[in-house]
């Protein structure tokens, strides 16, 4: 039994931030493998299972638009939360007037992808878990549109619609383009050592609209 | 203990603007946001969330459990208190806090979660939309990120909107020097003569149950806030804005019964046949195609 699935995802906007352009966020040309994994995790995830993204099909032409928004620059401070928790009288909030920054983001618009992925079992699986069971759960969720939380394209304000891709062939917007080099892209984060979470990169080459992630060289 | 929500929800908000600017674009000199390709008007998610926060802040007035974390203004008493503290030992205090936190982390590994729960319990906006909290202890795993159950996308207008520049004059001159030379000053504002916007949102019961504890009461308050979000937000720039429809889809189960896009597709907003330039809400008809919605999903038109 094949443990692979193909899921079609689409939406109005997407923002897969480049780590080097994070203040004024700029999206990658296509979805990163980590974002694709995030979408799958939003649909179904369990400690006993690990998603591996095999291919990303780019179904619509890559187009950008820009949006500038008022954002706040600070985060919740743990020390002030502790103070309030212990009964301090310092009011706890961020004043957006003082902490405001205007930031532009370069978004992708009108996107559609097909993610081809499979899962692997991990050591944390229970005795009663098996690939068949997980596969059934995933397929049922995809067919019914169930999800843990609504998946999104990079940022939560860009929700992703999703459904199962049941056809064999996946036409893309770049079927005629032999090869398009997208440069170095984020592959995923390595969480194996929680003290030191490390980014991993890979050389992204889109061939006929498909980003093939099998056997690609991952750089740290 | 309040009851955490048990169902997944999706919702569609239709709101309109008459002779106003629903959301200015800082990139375009505060003109209304427009998608340059389609000409459709845009309103960002954060703009709507701000209105919801403001409404909750207005009605709840810092009531316990309904505080708002990200505020627009600094209330006066805060500055007063800070002034007092400035004379004190504020600086040292901060350092001590961080140290205390590190010590606590060693003796109590759950301190991150305790603090997170404390934040969720006290702040309505964190319970609803989530928040990013800083790494509690440096170089250790960041437990401080809270995803809220409520997720809203960008709102888009149904038809292309035209933004209109209105030049206005005023007789009060700002500086003495200018007053010598002229009697009036010119100003500009941009308005959308009319626009009907549609926003779509999602509520995940899972995140509510497992993380923030977003409850049934909170949900009622959210609906109330959405319905009234423009009622307490009138200003010279906004013109006449009102929420026209809030259509809520309640799934029968926590994970949901059907894909969200099917529900959104079932809401059709149609421009009436003989209308060329829509200028009022009556120029549109809103249809909810019940036959496209599974029976287990409950549809409520809240307005």
B281–chain A nearest CA distance, Å: 25
Name the pLDDT band for B77 (thresholds 50, 70, 90).
very low
Asked whether residue B76 carries a pLDDT value surpassing 70, the answer given is no
Q: Is B38 on the interface with A (CB under 8 A)?
A: no
Model pTM? 0.87
Inter-chain residue contact B200 with A159, CB threshold 8 Å: yes
Note the pLDDT of residue B108: 65
Note the pLDDT of residue A162: 95
Residue in A82, A90, A146 closest to B115 by CB: A82
Residue in B35, B70, B206 closest to A94 by CB: B70
Q: Is B296 on the interface with A (CB under 8 A)?
A: no
Note the pLDDT of residue B139: 43
Q: What is the pLDDT of residues A31-64, one digit of tens each?
A: 999 999 999 999 999 999 999 999 999 999 999 9
Burial of B36 (0-12, 13-18, 19+ CB in 10 A): exposed
B170–chain A nearest CA distance, Å: 27
- The answer to which of A66-80, A101-115, B226-240 has the lowest mean pLDDT is A66-80
Cβ partners under 8 Å of residue B12, min gap 6: B198, B199, B200, B201, B245, B246, B247, B264, B267
Asked whether residue B89 carries a pLDDT value surpassing 70, the answer given is no
Inter-chain residue contact B132 with A163, CB threshold 8 Å: no
Q: What is the pLDDT of residues B8-36, one digit of tens each?
A: 999 999 999 999 999 999 988 899 999 98
Q: At what angle do helices B216-227 and B45-60 cross, to 10 degrees?
A: 110
B268–chain A nearest CA distance, Å: 17
Inter-chain residue contact A65 with B45, CB threshold 8 Å: no
Question: What residue of A is the nearest CA neighbor of B116?
Answer: A81
What single string gives the DSSP state of each residue in A122-149?
A: -TT--TT--HHHHHHHHHHHHHHT--SS
H and E: helices and strands count for chain B: 9, 15
Question: What residue of A is the nearest CA neighbor of B253?
Answer: A146
Residue in A12, A92, A145 closest to B154 by CB: A12
Asked whether residue B291 carries a pLDDT value surpassing 90, the answer given is yes
Name the pLDDT band for B156 (thresholds 50, 70, 90).
very high
Residue in A76, A78, A141 closest to B101 by CB: A78
Pairing of strands B70-71, A94-95: parallel
> Ramachandran region of residue A123, left (φ > 0), alpha (ψ -120 to 50) or beta?
alpha
How many other CB atoms are there within 10 angstroms of residue B159's CB atom?
19
Between CA A96 and CA B74 the distance in angstroms is 9
**Touching A: B residues 160-199, CB under 8 Å:** none
Asked whether residue B85 carries a pLDDT value surpassing 80, the answer given is no
Asked whether residue B109 carries a pLDDT value surpassing 70, the answer given is no
Measured between beta carbons, the chain B residues lying within 8 angstroms of A90 are 81, 85
Name the pLDDT band for A23 (thresholds 50, 70, 90).
confident
Question: What residue of A is the nearest CA neighbor of B126?
Answer: A76
Note the pLDDT of residue B116: 81
What single string gives the DSSP state of each residue in B203-229?
A: E-HHHIIIII--BHHHHHHHHHHHHTT
Specify which of A156-160, B79-83, B93-97 reaches the highest per-range mean pLDDT. Answer: A156-160
Note the pLDDT of residue B106: 62
Q: What is the pLDDT of residues A158-196, one digit of tens each?
A: 999 999 999 889 999 999 988 999 999 999 998 888 778
Cβ partners under 8 Å of residue B145, min gap 6: B130, B132, B133
- Cα B238 versus chain centre, distance: 16
- The answer to which of B123-137, B185-199, B209-223, B243-257 has the lowest mean pLDDT is B123-137
> B233: closest CA among B114, B57, B37, B62?
B57
Task: Tell me what the pLDDT averaged over chain B comes to.
Answer: 85
Which residue would you say has higher pLDDT here, B235 or A196? Answer: B235
Measured between beta carbons, the chain A residues lying within 8 angstroms of B255 are 141, 144, 146-148
- The answer to which of A18-22, A106-110, A156-160, B262-266 has the lowest mean pLDDT is A18-22
Note the pLDDT of residue B14: 97
Note the pLDDT of residue B86: 44
B109–chain A nearest CA distance, Å: 14
Note the pLDDT of residue A2: 53
Q: What is the pLDDT of residues B265-284, one digit of tens each?
A: 999 999 998 899 999 999 99
Name the pLDDT band for B210 (thresholds 50, 70, 90).
confident
Question: What residue of B is the nearest CA neighbor of A91?
Answer: B78
Mean pLDDT score, A78-107: 79
Note the pLDDT of residue B186: 87
A122–chain B nearest CA distance, Å: 21
Note the pLDDT of residue A128: 83
């Amino acid at each position: 039994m094949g443990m692979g699935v193909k899921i079609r995802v689409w939406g109005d906007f997407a923002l897969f931030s480049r780590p080097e352009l994070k203040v004024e966020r700029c999206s990658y040309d296509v979805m990163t493998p980590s974002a694709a994994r995030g979408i799958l995790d939003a649909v179904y995830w369990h400690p006993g299972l690990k998603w591996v993204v095999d291919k990303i099909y780019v179904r619509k032409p890559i187009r950008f638009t820009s949006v500038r928004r008022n954002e706040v620059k600070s985060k919740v401070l743990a020390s002030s939360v502790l103070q309030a928790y212990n009964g301090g009288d310092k009011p706890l909030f961020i004043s957006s007037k003082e902490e405001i920054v205007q930031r532009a983001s370069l978004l992708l618009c009108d996107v559609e992808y097909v993610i081809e992925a499979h899962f692997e079992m991990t050591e944390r699986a229970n005795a009663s878990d098996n690939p068949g069971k997980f596969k059934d759960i995933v397929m049922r969720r995809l067919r019914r549109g169930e999800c843990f939380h609504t998946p999104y394209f990079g940022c939560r304000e860009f929700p992703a619609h999703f459904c199962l891709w049941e056809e064999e062939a996946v036409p893309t917007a770049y079927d005629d383009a032999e090869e398009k080099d997208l440069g170095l892209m984020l592959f995923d984060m390595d969480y194996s050592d929680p003290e030191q979470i490390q980014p991993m990169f890979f050389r992204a080459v889109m061939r006929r609209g498909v980003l093939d992630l099998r056997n690609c060289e991952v750089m740290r | 203990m309040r009851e955490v929500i048990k169902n997944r929800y999706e919702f569609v908000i239709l709101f309109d603007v008459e002779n106003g600017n629903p959301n200015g674009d800082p990139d375009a000199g505060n003109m209304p946001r427009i998608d340059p390709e389609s000409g459709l008007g845009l309103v960002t998610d954060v703009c709507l969330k701000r209105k919801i926060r403001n409404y909750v802040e207005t009605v709840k007035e810092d009531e316990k459990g309904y505080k708002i974390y990200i505020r627009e203004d600094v209330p006066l008493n805060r500055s007063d208190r800070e002034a007092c503290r400035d004379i004190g030992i504020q600086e040292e205090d901060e350092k001590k806090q961080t140290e205390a936190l590190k010590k606590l982390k060693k003796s109590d590994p759950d301190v991150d979660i305790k603090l997170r729960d404390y934040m969720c319990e006290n702040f309505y906006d964190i319970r609803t939309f989530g928040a990013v909290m800083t790494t509690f202890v440096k170089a250790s795993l960041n437990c401080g990120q809270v995803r809220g159950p409520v997720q809203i996308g960008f709102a888009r207008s149904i038809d292309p909107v035209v933004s209109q520049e209105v030049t206005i004059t005023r007789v009060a001159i700002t500086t003495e020097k200018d007053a010598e030379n002229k009697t009036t000053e010119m100003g500009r504002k941009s308005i959308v003569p009319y626009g009907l916007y549609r926003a779509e949102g999602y509520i995940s019961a899972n995140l509510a149950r497992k993380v923030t504890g977003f409850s049934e009461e909170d949900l009622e308050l959210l609906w109330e806030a959405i319905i009234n979000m423009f009622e307490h937000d009138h200003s010279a720039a906004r013109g006449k804005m009102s929420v026209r429809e809030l259509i809520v889809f309640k799934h029968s189960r926590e994970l949901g019964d059907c894909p969200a896009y099917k529900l959104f597709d079932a809401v059709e907003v149609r421009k009436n046949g003989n209308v060329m330039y829509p200028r009022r809400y009556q120029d549109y008809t809103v249809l909810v195609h019940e036959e496209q919605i599974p029976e287990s999903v409950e549809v409520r038109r809240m307005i």
